[in-house]
Amino acid sequence: MKLTTSVALGLAVVGAQAHYTFPKSYTNGAVSAEWETIRMTENRYSHGPVTDVTSSAMTCYEISPGTRAAKIVPITAGSNFTFTVDTSISHPGPLHFYLAKVPAGQTAATFDGKGAVWFKIYQDGPSGLGTSSITWPSAGKAEVSVQIPKCVANGDYLLRVEHIALHSAGSVGGAQLYISCAQISVTGGTGTLNTGSLVSFPGAYKATDPGILFQLYWPTPTSYINPGPAPVKC
């Protein structure tokens, strides 16, 4: 029994080291404190992933629905928003960013992000498909950045970062999703963006989507299809 416990603890420590969160932001040189501009997530201690894509945690992974961060970050459309990673993106898989415009009468601190409100602004995919050394652009990164499109409308948004770890995604429920939402307020946007149809989280993904249920290692994959809608273009 004693042995079992220490083995279990050992595994838990290894697991925690392999997982990650997105606790801080910076924009134009302004660095936030932890969870000051990004909603505090359920996994702030465990660093563990969401594995059920139908879970309400898919929205922002907050400790409870509507958990707000203290600040809303002002940002100019066309400039970059950076999330820090604690401690790094240590698993292979795609990086996605989504925006949700906050409805009238609410702010980025009060909006819960529910409903068909999200559009994708960035996705990436692997290089080396068809070989035994597939690599992902975000691998090992201690921070990840996205450009807020110049053509968005001004106003408050939730900015949702999502990294999907695929190392054990070969069976249903094996993909690990690491998610956070930042609270931002955009100025300088041209407002010309056509967002196309908006998606919900949960709702946008199914456990059997080819980019979620994915065998990374063998047989060697020759393609990868990101889940969710295509990223918008200005």
Which residues would be at the binding site for Cu ion (CB under 5 A)? Answer: 18-19
Of residues 19 and 141, the one with the C-beta less far from Cu ion: 19
Q: Which amino acid is at 34?
A: E
- Binding flag, residue 28, ligand NAG (CB under 6 A): no
**C-beta of 98: minimal distance to ligand NAG in Å?**
15
Of residues 70 and 230, the one with the C-beta less far from ligand NAG: 230
Full DSSP string of 114-161? -SS-EEEEEE---BSTTSS--B-TTTT-SEEEEEPPTTSPSEEEEEEE
Of residues 79 and 154, the one with the C-beta less far from ligand NAG: 79
Among 51, 90, 145, 190, binds ligand NAG (CB under 6 A): 145
* Helices and strands, counts by H and E, the chain: 1, 9
**C-beta of 47: minimal distance to Cu ion in Å?**
7
* Burial of 203: CB neighbours in 10 Å, binned 0-12, 13-18, 19+: middle
- Binding flag, residue 147, ligand NAG (CB under 6 A): yes
Q: Residue 19 touches which of ligand NAG, Cu ion, none (CB < 5 to 8 A by kind)?
A: Cu ion
Stretch that binds ligand NAG, among 55-63, 143-151, 192-200, 211-219 (CB under 6 A): 143-151
Residue pair 96/228 in contact (Cβ under 8 Å)? The answer is yes
Residue pair 212/164 in contact (Cβ under 8 Å)? The answer is yes
Q: Residue 51 touches which of ligand NAG, Cu ion, none (CB < 5 to 8 A by kind)?
A: none
Rounded CA-CA distance 184/154 in Å is: 10
- Binding flag, residue 80, ligand NAG (CB under 6 A): yes
Rounded CA-CA distance 18/10 in Å is: 13
Q: Residue 18 touches which of ligand NAG, Cu ion, none (CB < 5 to 8 A by kind)?
A: Cu ion
Rounded CA-CA distance 201/182 in Å is: 15
**Interface contacts to ligand NAG, rule CB under 6 A:** 80, 145-147
